[in-house]
């Protein structure tokens, strides 16, 4: 068996501009793209849509070929053995989650309740749905295809996400407060999360991960928040990428920062 230390590098960095779909149907692609654009919206700065988050997600959920980039970003690692088995099983579940998730977004878009899922029935989406549907019929469009998430306005799409998440739309951060929380594990793994949480996490990941994975096109996610990331993963392996200039830039003297040094008797090395 090929050991993990000998995993081959195969393939190449994902092309952000690709419209080739590896897993999603066209409808799923459009729906996921629209939903991620509400999670990380476009304003005077680019959002998930421009950063090609949908490409990132499509590649990831397509199987196990895009799980780990090679260290230098030249391609992707070919998993073997138990790791391959574990990821195959995981991605099988992930595909089902997305497939059902897109159906759920469309169901909510039509103003209907979700009945399946771990969270029990979802509360009805705001009354605009009914109005919308009724309006459509009143206008004699009963033959038109059923409205889906992608056909809604952005405000309507937000209402669907509110219904899906079961919580109000998040409000902006305010200063001047103290907001306690409790302990959590660092790092976020995406296994066994509900669809909405998965979509939010994958949107973040696609917006901010190294561009090799297909999102964060032209590092636009990093530019939005002012992260001066490396030009390539390879640059992080040989000293090319150096963040020293972002440290404290002034002169400093440890004796000023640590007044106690003046009274202690340091032992020489």
Interacting positions 147-176 with another protein (CB under 8 A):
158, 161, 165, 169-176
Output 32 or 67, the one with its CB closest to another protein.
Answer: 67
Interface of this chain with another protein, residues 77 to 136, rule: CB under 8 A: 81-83, 85-86, 89-90
Contact string 49-78 vs another protein (x = CB under 8 A): ------------------xxx-xxx-----
Question: Radius of gyration (Cα) for the chain, nearest Å?
Answer: 24
For position 260 contacting another protein by CB under 8 A, the verdict is yes
Q: How far is the CB of 137 from another protein (least distance, A)?
A: 31
How many Cα atoms occupy the beta-carbon half-sphere of 154 within 13 Å?
8
211: left (phi over 0), alpha (psi -120 to 50) or beta: alpha
Q: How far apart are CA 18 and CA 54, in angstroms?
A: 10
Interface of this chain with another protein, residues 197 to 256, rule: CB under 8 A: 200, 203-205, 207-210, 212-213, 221-222, 224-227, 229-230, 233-234, 236-239, 241-244, 246-250, 252, 254
Handedness of CA 76, 78, 83, 84 (dihedral sign): positive
# residues near another protein by CB under 8 A: 96
Output 38 or 147, the one with its CB closest to another protein.
Answer: 38
Q: How far is the CB of 205 from another protein (least distance, A)?
A: 6
Phi, psi of 53 (to 5 degrees): -60, -35
Interface of this chain with another protein, residues 4 to 43, rule: CB under 8 A: 4-5, 38-41, 43
Output 21 or 234, the one with its CB closest to another protein.
Answer: 234
Question: 92 is written with which tokens?
Answer: 């099988």
Phi, psi of 69 (to 5 degrees): -70, 150
Q: How far apart are CA 77 and CA 68, in angstroms?
A: 6
Output 142 or 172, the one with its CB closest to another protein.
Answer: 172
Q: How far apart are CA 147 and CA 125, in angstroms?
A: 14
């Amino acid at each position: 068996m090929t050991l993990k230390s000998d995993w081959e590098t195969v393939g190449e960095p994902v092309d952000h501009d690709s419209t080739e779909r590896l897993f999603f149907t066209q409808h799923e692609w459009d729906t996921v793209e629209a939903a991620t654009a509400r999670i990380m919206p476009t304003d005077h700065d680019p959002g998930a849509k421009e950063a090609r988050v949908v490409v990132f997600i499509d590649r990831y959920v397509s199987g196990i070929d895009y799980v780990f980039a090679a260290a230098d970003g030249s391609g992707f690692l070919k998993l073997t053995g138990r790791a391959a088995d574990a990821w195959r099983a995981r991605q099988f579940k992930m595909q089902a989650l997305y497939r059902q998730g897109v159906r759920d977004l469309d169901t909510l878009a039509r103003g209907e309740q979700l009945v399946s899922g771990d969270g029990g029935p979802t509360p009805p989406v705001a009354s605009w749905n009914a109005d919308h549907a009724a309006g459509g019929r009143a206008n004699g469009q009963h033959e038109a295809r059923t409205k889906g998430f992608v056909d809604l306005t952005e405000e309507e799409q937000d209402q669907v996400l509110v219904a899906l998440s079961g919580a109000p739309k998040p409000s902006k951060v305010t200063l001047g407060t103290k907001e306690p929380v409790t302990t959590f594990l660092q790092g976020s793994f995406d296994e066994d999360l509900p669809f909405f949480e998965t979509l939010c996490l994958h949107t973040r990941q696609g917006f901010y991960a190294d561009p090799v994975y297909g999102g964060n096109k032209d590092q636009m996610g990093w530019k939005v928040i002012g992260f001066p990331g490396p030009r390539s993963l390879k640059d992080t392996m040989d000293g090319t990428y150096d963040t020293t200039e972002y440290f404290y830039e002034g002169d400093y003297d440890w004796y000023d920062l640590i007044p106690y040094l003046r009274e202690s008797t340091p032992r020489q090395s």
